[in-house]
Structure formats: structure tokens, C-alpha cells
Amino acid sequence: MITARPVAILSDNYAWLLRDDASGATAIVDPAEVAPIAAAIDAAGGRLDLILLTHHHADHIAGAEAIRARYGARMVGAAADVARLPPLDQAVAEGDTVMLGSAAARVIDTPGHTRGHISYFFPDGDVLLCGDTLFSLGCGRLLEGTPAEMFASLHKLAVLPGDTLICCGHEYTESNARFAVHADPTNPALAEFAARVRATRAAGRPTLPSRLAEELEANPFLRAPDVAGFADLRARKDRF
């Protein structure tokens, strides 16, 4: 089974340290900074088998080559974006499998934030690494994709099991909650979620991972009924 732990890096990013408990194999997702990630890997035993990249932005890949040089891990990223990623050992696309020890991740193409954005889902542990596609109570900005593309990407993630752990790339949840409550002021599940998020951040703890089932009840971007509704919501959030 895969367990996932956030490693806080930069100002508000998370890299994710994954471990397959059957084999002890370890992965890091989106290692954009070396020192805190090396410290987390070393504290977990100093083993690194795999580097998983979700998309090409510097706040997700900046430390990847240095981490690979230090630990000798295999680097995996989107075939669609090889020109903008560090040299990959495995270039992947929709439906491909990536092994971490004895656990298999399925690759899900999730364009919208960027053209080549991918997500990784480990059914054994219900762990979803979704980068800047789905955030807790929010979603990524449409920097290279259309509303229709992002809407479709979010709905590929929305059909995963309800217990899926949302391991995304940023601690944006508290500010996302402010917009979400503004957009959907009468949703009791959202009000309760937002109160919990404020308490968690006040205590200095990460709000992630969240569970997909609670996002489906509270996240307005997952609850938008159609592409037009989603596009309107995304545009309002950009101005909020």
C-alpha cells in the first residue's frame, strides 16, 4: 500500500513523499527545492526510487535534476511535455502504468492548467497526485487550456473512489475556501469544511490531503453543472 506525506517547500508548495510499505520503495512528487526534500528523504531512510513530475512549472520541477543526481532515482513525466521537462527516464501518457515497488500508478492526462499536465493515481492506498489540476476547494488556473479541457480533467478525477486522498501541489485551501463560501454561501458541507480549514491553518498544520468525497460535497469547481458554469466560476475566481 502507498502512503503519502506532504513536504512543505517554497512559499506554499507541497512535494509529496510516497512510500510503498510492501517493498520500502520511495518516490518524491514535484521536487522543486532540494534542501527540505533531501532532509525528508534522508529522515525516511535515504532511499529514493522514483521522481514523479506533474507539469513543467518551475515550482514543481526546479530541484528534480539535483535530486536525481543525489539519489539516482528514475524520473517520470508527461510524454506530451518532454521539451519542457528535465530529461525523463520514462515518458508517460493517459493509461500508462508507473511502478513504485509493488504498487502501480495509473497515469491520467489532466490538461487545463498546462497542456501537458498529468496526474498519477495509486489504487492501492487511494492516493492521487494531481499537481495544479484539482486543489482542495479549488482548481488550477487555466494558463494553457480551455474551460472545457479543465472541466473534463476535473471530471476524470471526480469518478475516482470517494476515499481518494487529494495530494495536490499547493496549500491554497484557506484562500480557496473564502472564494468557495462566497460562490456557494448556502452549502452546509462547505461551511463546515471551511471552518475546519481555518482551524487547521491556525494550528499551523497542512490541510492536505483532503478526501475526494468531501471535495465533491464542497468544492464549487467540482460542483459546476456544465462547462459554461465552470468557466464563469473560474473567471470570477480569477478576479476575486
| Residue 132 contacts Fe ion per CB under 5 A | yes
In whole angstroms, the minimum distance from the beta carbon of 191 to Zn ion comes to 29
Q: Should residue 170 be labelled a site residue for Zn ion when binding is judged by CB under 5 A?
A: no
Instruction: List the one residue out of 207, 172, 205 whose CA is nearest residue 193.
Output: 207
Work out the number of other CB atoms within 10 angstroms of the CB of residue 208.
21
Of 21, 59, 124, 184, the catalytic one is 59
- For Zn ion, which residue of 30, 81, 132, 149 counts as binding (CB under 5 A)? 132
Min dist CB 72 to Zn ion, Å, is 27
Q: Among this protein's residues, is 182 annotated catalytic?
A: no
3-class secondary-structure state, position 92: strand
Judged by CB under 5 A, the chain residues 57 through 76 that form the site for Fe ion are 59
Site membership for Zn ion, residue 57 (CB under 5 A):
yes
94 burial level (CB within 10 Å; 0-12, 13-18, 19+):
middle
Please report how close the Cβ of residue 55 comes to Fe ion at its closest, in angstroms: 8
By the rule CB under 5 A, 56 interacts with Zn ion = no
**Sequence letter at residue 124:** D
If we measure between CA atoms, which residue out of 236, 110, 239, 228 comes closest to residue 169?
Answer: 110
Catalytic residues: 55, 57, 59-60, 113, 132, 170
